[in-house]
């Protein structure tokens, strides 16, 4: 339920900045994703949360500087077919969009 709330918050700019103010937010998101990697719903929500945060201008530098966040995004992009093929496809799509968002307008 908390992950659903964070995903809903991250859909609007004010919610994105609120999530950014949480200390070690990216570490927590990545740790949750890593610990529950076989849970397709948690994995999809974590990738969507990172995806939404990548579209926040203030978050881009934080995400690029966070090894945990980048490892989670690259891990979703790299994910081979798993037991949850549909979730894996969604996570790969979120990861690809996240990377495009991070490099857009950056020099």
Residue 73 exposure: Cα atoms within 13 Å on the Cβ side: 26
The gap between the terminal CA atoms of the chain, to the nearest Å, is 38
Angle between helices 13-20 and 2-9 (to 10 degrees): 120
107 pLDDT tier (thresholds 50, 70, 90): very low
Residue 64 pLDDT exceeds 80:
yes
Asked if 45 contacts 88 with a C-beta cutoff of 8 angstroms, the reply is: no
Question: How large is the average pLDDT for residues 17-21?
Answer: 91
Average pLDDT, the chain: 85
How many helices, marked H, and strands, marked E, lie in the chain? 7, 0
- Whole-structure pTM over 0.95, yes or no? no
Per-residue model confidence (pLDDT) at position 14:
93
């Amino acid at each position: 339920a908390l992950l659903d709330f964070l995903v809903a918050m991250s859909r609007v700019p004010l919610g994105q900045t609120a999530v950014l103010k949480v200390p070690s937010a990216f570490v927590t998101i990545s740790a949750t994703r890593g610990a529950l990697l076989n849970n397709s719903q948690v994995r999809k929500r974590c990738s969507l949360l990172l995806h939404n945060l990548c579209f926040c201008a203030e978050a881009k530098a934080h995400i690029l500087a966070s090894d945990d966040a980048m490892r989670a995004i690259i891990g979703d992009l790299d994910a081979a077919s798993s037991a949850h093929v549909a979730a894996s496809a969604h996570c790969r799509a979120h990861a690809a969009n996240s990377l495009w968002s991070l490099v857009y307008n950056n020099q």
